[in-house]
Amino acid sequence: VTPSGDTRLFLRAIEGDGNGFEYAMFLNAAERRLLCLVQPGPYLEGHPGLTHGGAIATIVDSALGTCALAVAGPVVTANLSIDYLVPVPLGAVLLVEGRAERLEGRKVFLSCQVRGADGDTLHARAT
């Protein structure tokens, strides 16, 4: 399938600034790592006042996919494992740090931590 000119990245599919995924990614390809600042909007609510776990999984997958793309070229996710540790309040500013740990043939192994902006609270970790 050839994408048409009106396609858009999944994370940017929600209309209205601040309603969905508000983020900025910073890639350091030489170090095989990526930092992402993200603030989940009200359309990403799961339990009242908290960010839906699927939204957390989406930003983790997007961050790790961007990192893997820089390290290994076009990729798809084969397995995503997430440990949810502390719920994320809607509107909280998060720091998502992804890293390519190793390459084995066509496989890229990555890790990720989702922390509060203060760096102290570990909300989730993923591989």
Q: For residues 16 and 20, what is the distance between their CA atoms, to the nearest angstrom?
A: 8
The answer to whether residue 61 is catalytic is: yes
pLDDT at residue number 15 = 73
Which residue did the predictor score with more confidence, 11 or 41? 41
pLDDT tens column, 48-74: 999 999 999 999 999 999 999 999 999
Contact 61, 23 (CB under 8 A): no
Class of domain 19-126: alpha beta
- Other C-beta atoms within 10 Å of 119: how many? 10
| Chain position carrying tokens 């599919």 | 13
Which residue of the set 61, 83, 118, 120 is catalytic?
A: 61
Contact 98, 36 (CB under 8 A): yes
The pTM of this model reads: 0.88
**∠ Cα 17 95 98 (to 5°):** 115
Extents of the domains making up the chain:
19-126
pLDDT tens column, 85-107: 999 999 999 999 999 999 999 89
What is the secondary structure of 73-99 as a DSSP string? SS---S---EEE-S--BTT--EEEEEE
